[in-house]
Structure 1
């Protein structure tokens, strides 16, 4: 059975939701037989990194909210992440665009390293304060997951993999994805948001049984 996930590297609810999914799979007898496939999604297509602003200030400005409200909102996310066993550090995080990282992701996926790439970029963004909009950061992280440095640099210097990237976005639009994370189980059942582990277990079990009975 397959699970398709539309996500962005800078989406905290994606990071948390996928931790819940991973826990659900670990607790199910058939969990190791489920294949995960990521697809690109842009959480904020207009995001720009500003060296003079903190992540929280950039978020507050983009959302049109007071800084204190942004702090309260992100603290709730940090607490959710902690409950899921994740360290999320918005003090270090860099508010950055992810289009280039997604184009290189398409290359990683083509070479069987898409899931590893996504996981590494989550960690880099949420726990290490890496700027995912910087070419050198993308190159460094890509090398860490075993991608060819020269190919990655070539992609970043061109528009390579733009079509594959846009195809993921267009597919999301076609099936009505309004936000991420968005999970599709067995090409049939949709789960949206950072749902609890128990909900994932129920949905996965239902999809698995229906597929087995088909």
Structure 2
């Protein structure tokens, strides 16, 4: 049976990408398809010029949104949406806004393994590490530890990242996103049909069933 192709444009500092990921997973379960799905994780850097070691989150968010109070209000809205989706946000633990390039490279490493289950687990684990545990996912040591905790070889992951492997694929994916007109994430493509934002599971379920009908026709 031919799998239904799904691609997810995301960034690890995007809270709605984590929420959208969980809603997509719920939509896949609800669709109960007779064919498998194949998910590709497509990098999209919201802050491509972020310093390599990141920035103090309060400083960054205050500059971006005009005040720390406004940022905290937005965080509270996200956290409430996260509760409903099953994503526990603990913003009191998040002290830095990281550069996510290395994390995107790590996902390239994971996808190159061909193990979809471990790759999906790593994707979830990176979001959890940042938003729930407040870990700095811009740091090599943090990412290698997360990879190892999810069944990947730590030495291989570290070599991949320190050698700059995966960078070309990340940059190629971002150029494609620009050509496709993607300006925000999450953006999910289900069999070529775009869905923007962290939509309810029912939206993804309907899109998956429609893709199945098109493939059958």
TM more than 0.5: yes
For 1:128, which of 130, 133, 141 is the aligned residue?
133
Provide the aligned C-alpha RMSD in A.
1.7
Deviation at 1:170, TM superposition (A): 1.4
For 1:26, which of 29, 39, 57 is the aligned residue?
29
Deviation at 1:154, TM superposition (A): 2.0
Question: What is the match of residue 203 of structure 2?
Answer: 199
Give 4+ residue runs of structure 1 displaced > 4 Å after superposition. none
Given the alignment of the two structures, is residue 108 of structure 1 paired with residue 110 of structure 2, yes or no? yes
Q: Is the 8 A contact 1:26 1:32 kept in 2?
A: no
Question: What is the match of residue 179 of structure 2?
Answer: 174
Cα distance in 1 for partners of 2:32, 2:65 equals 46
Unaligned runs of 5+ in 2: none
Unaligned runs of 5+ in 1: none
Q: TM-score, normalised by structure 1?
A: 0.90
Q: 1:165-196, CA deviations, whole angstroms, 9 ceiling, x for partnerless residues?
A: 1121112112111111110111x210011111
Residue 47 to residue 32, structure 1, CA distance change in 2 (3 Å) = farther
Q: 1:85-121, CA deviations, whole angstroms, 9 ceiling, x for partnerless residues?
A: 2101111123111111211221111002432221111
Residue 73 to residue 115, structure 1, CA distance change in 2 (3 Å) = same
Q: Is the 8 A contact 1:182 1:192 kept in 2?
A: yes
Deviation at 1:152, TM superposition (A): 2.1
Deviation at 1:57, TM superposition (A): 3.9
1:120-159 maps to which residues of 2 (within 5 A)?
A: 120-159=125-164
